[in-house]
Chains A and B, each alone.
Chain A
Amino acid sequence: MTESLGITVEGVHFGYPERPVLRGVDLAVRPGELTALVGLNGCGKSTLLRLAAGLLRPGRGRVLLGGDDLARLSRRDTARRVALLHQSAPAVPGMTVRQLVRQGRYAARGPLGMLREGDDPVVRRALRDVGVESWAERPVDALSGGERQRVRLATALAQDTRILLLDEPTTYLDLHHQLDVLRTVVRLREERGLTVVMVLHDLAHAARFAERLVALRDGRVVADGPPRDVVTPGLLADVLRVAGRVGRDPEGGWPVCYPDHPLPGVEYENHIH
């Protein structure tokens, strides 16, 4: 983990002629930045993450990781630079936690290296990072949703990349486990200077944990900046299509949203505390 890598998205279009998903996205994620992507379902957030992970190729435009054009990198070279945690994963019957986390080493070790016995230190560190070493031999299928998500995060961390992309890492989790995952990400990013981009549905989490908030609507970036500047009633209305008010956390100062408030049919003056 020497220096961090940034992500540069230049004029990226993606989709089909009749159904464009991204229509000209420009975004420069600086090295070491913690960015949250927000927007409605289908606005192109997940597609943008997949493009940044090299799993999709843009129709127009290009994606650079620290100056290297993704189109010129092999699948394995890409996976050594960027790890992507998908929103959901199918069950893998019979696989233990350690076996699953080991799979993250594929890019580093290659197909024949995966045949060697034993874990390298990175796997042990990844298990430790998310606090699952003590049950490394348990089958993944027997874990609760929150535990499983931590294990999947460990698999992405085992890729030992400088860029971490997370697609709705808190979906299906209760509030306790949502905060658990987000705090782990924030801590690791501070310890190792990771560049993190995560799709979040909960604007409260985005405003609380991210340094930078990027809002997408209909395949375009419509707001970009620190949460305290970007999160406004206008953003709620335009991007998330909800009426609401925005306040400030009395201690931390980050924006706090009160969606669906004022209640429909009741006239209030929209104001900011």
Chain B
Amino acid sequence: MSRRCTVLVALVVVCAGAELVAGRGMSPAAVGDVLAGGGTSTERHILFHLRLPRMLVALGAGACLGVAGLVLQSALRNPLAGPEVTGVTPGAVLGAVTATGLGLAGWESPLAVVVAACLGGCAGAALLWLLAGRGGDDPARTAVHGVLVSAVLGGLTAMVLLVAPGELGSVVQWLVGTTEGRVWQHWHLLWPWALAWTAAAWLLAGPLTLLRCGDDMAGAAGLSTGRARRLALLCAVALTSGAVAAVGALGFVGLLVPHLALAVFGADLRRSLPGAALAGALVVCGADAAAQLLSRPVASALGAGSLTLPVGALTTCAGAVLLLAVVRRAPDRTF
């Protein structure tokens, strides 16, 4: 168990390192120079004020999404639940986009974006709750309702973008998810929020493990299932909204990282919740590094010099493949 944890931490460090040396404008050798204390002031600025916060934001957002996904899947007893398919992520995107479109938030006021994303995330989750109602026990039905809610919220987001295209450029990236241009200000907003809600989620590890055993058993064992589930959903919404406000709607991370964490760390959430945080950080940071490394050949192939792949595009493509693998691997598993 501790060996798996060490391996995962080592992988996270490797990905973080790759993230620091990836990207244009600065060669890996120059990064080494700067870390050794040398380098020009431009290089120092790039590394310490652009790449470092970007890496930290990627790690933090990934951790948030991983934990949020595992909390959601456990609380709803649904392996197909994830922030993306329960209306939380699309709601948060809608919130962020609407607030920016109305001029209430923007680059200058990231805190307002977090608040707006949170409200939107709660609204999305509430919408699903209303639709699914008490019959939210069936994973497939919840997934279908989630797709409906996500489609409606996505449509509303598109509508806002059409009506108020003022800050369109800065807003579009929430739709795909990108770590482009994240600076210390974003990190300073993200980490206290992420730390507080991850800690809250971990304190719920006992009740969440029980909820995974089904409401009948959890109730008989002494858990107030309704209250525990509401607290867990609050944690999941808060974590997702924080991540969306920081990097946008990164596809499939919250849906697939929990499967990875459970496979590696087992069904006891005391271990697999921190595991999901590590795995989420690894996936997003790794995907961001890969996206930056891929951007160069893709850009030169297309002849578009300044093209950069958003990390969200990569996680969505990779996630779709992984999701197929998860579903294929166990076609008749009773979840």
A residues contacting B by CB (< 8 A) are 53, 55, 74-76, 78-80, 83-86, 89-96, 99-100, 103-104, 106-107, 109-115, 155-156, 159
Given the complex, which residues of A lie within 8 Å of B204, measured CB to CB? 111
Whole-angstrom distance between the alpha carbons of A113 and B220 in the complex? 18
* 9-residue interface stretch from B113-121, B266-274, B313-321: B266-274
- In the complex formed, the residue of A with least CB distance to B212 is A92
Contact (Cβ within 8 A) B206 A111: yes
- Interface residue B195 (Cβ < 8 Å from any Cβ of A): no
- Interface residue B217 (Cβ < 8 Å from any Cβ of A): yes
Contact (Cβ within 8 A) B262 A94: yes
Which residues, 310 to 335 on B, are CB-close (under 8 Å) to A?
333-335
- Interface residue B222 (Cβ < 8 Å from any Cβ of A): yes
B residues contacting A by CB (< 8 A) are 77, 79, 202-207, 209-210, 212-214, 216-224, 228, 262-263, 266-268, 270, 333-335
- In the complex formed, the residue of A with least CB distance to B228 is A111
CB distance from A72 to the nearest CB of B (A): 15
Contact (Cβ within 8 A) A94 B267: yes
- In the complex formed, the residue of A with least CB distance to B205 is A115
Given the complex, which residues of B lie within 8 Å of A55, measured CB to CB? 216, 219-220
Whole-angstrom distance between the alpha carbons of A99 and B221 in the complex? 14
Contact (Cβ within 8 A) A111 B207: yes
Given the complex, which residues of A lie within 8 Å of B212, measured CB to CB? 92, 95
Contact (Cβ within 8 A) B221 A89: no
Given the complex, which residues of B lie within 8 Å of A107, measured CB to CB? 221-222
- In the complex formed, the residue of A with least CB distance to B227 is A75
Contact (Cβ within 8 A) B222 A78: yes
| Given A89-B213, A89-B214, A79 and B220 contact (CB-CB distance below 8 Å) | yes
Given the complex, which residues of A lie within 8 Å of B210, measured CB to CB? 103, 106
Identify which of B79, B218, B263, B268 gathers the most chain A CB atoms within 10 Å of its CB.
B268
Contact (Cβ within 8 A) A90 B77: yes
Given the complex, which residues of B lie within 8 Å of A159, measured CB to CB? 221-222
Supply 11 further A-B pairs (C-beta < 8 A) apart from A99-B267, A107-B222, A114-B207: A55-B219, A83-B220, A89-B217, A91-B334, A95-B267, A96-B267, A104-B221, A106-B210, A112-B203, A115-B270, A155-B221
- In the complex formed, the residue of B with least CB distance to A112 is B203
Contact (Cβ within 8 A) A75 B223: yes
Supply 16 A–B pairs (Cβ within 8 Å), ascending by A: A74-B224, A75-B223, A79-B220, A85-B220, A90-B214, A92-B267, A93-B267, A95-B213, A95-B268, A103-B217, A103-B221, A106-B223, A111-B207, A115-B270, A155-B221, A159-B222
Contact (Cβ within 8 A) B222 A79: yes
Given the complex, which residues of B lie within 8 Å of A83, measured CB to CB? 220
- In the complex formed, the residue of B with least CB distance to A107 is B222
| Given A79-B221, A83-B220, A156-B220, A93 and B209 contact (CB-CB distance below 8 Å) | no
The 4 closest A-B pairs by CB, nearest first: A114-B206, A79-B222, A107-B222, A95-B267
Contact (Cβ within 8 A) B213 A100: yes
Given the complex, which residues of B lie within 8 Å of A96, measured CB to CB? 266-267
Which of B203, B223, B335 has a CB less than 8 Å from the CB of A93?
B335
Contact (Cβ within 8 A) A106 B221: yes
Whole-angstrom distance between the alpha carbons of A93 and B263 in the complex? 9
| Given A84-B220, A107-B222, A115 and B214 contact (CB-CB distance below 8 Å) | no
Contact (Cβ within 8 A) B206 A106: yes
Whole-angstrom distance between the alpha carbons of A54 and B79 in the complex? 30
CB distance from A220 to the nearest CB of B (A): 25
Given the complex, which residues of A lie within 8 Å of B203, measured CB to CB? 111-112, 115
CB distance from A149 to the nearest CB of B (A): 13
Contact (Cβ within 8 A) A103 B205: no
Which of A90, A103, A113 has a CB less than 8 Å from the CB of B209?
A103
Contact (Cβ within 8 A) A75 B222: yes
- In the complex formed, the residue of B with least CB distance to A91 is B334
Given the complex, which residues of A lie within 8 Å of B228, measured CB to CB? 111
Given the complex, which residues of B lie within 8 Å of A84, measured CB to CB? 220
Whole-angstrom distance between the alpha carbons of A100 and B262 in the complex? 15
Given the complex, which residues of A lie within 8 Å of B334, measured CB to CB? 90-91
Given the complex, which residues of A lie within 8 Å of B205, measured CB to CB? 114-115
| Given A90-B77, A115-B203, A75 and B213 contact (CB-CB distance below 8 Å) | no
Contact (Cβ within 8 A) A76 B266: no
Given the complex, which residues of B lie within 8 Å of A100, measured CB to CB? 213
- In the complex formed, the residue of A with least CB distance to B217 is A89
CB distance from A45 to the nearest CB of B (A): 16
Whole-angstrom distance between the alpha carbons of A159 and B299 in the complex? 62
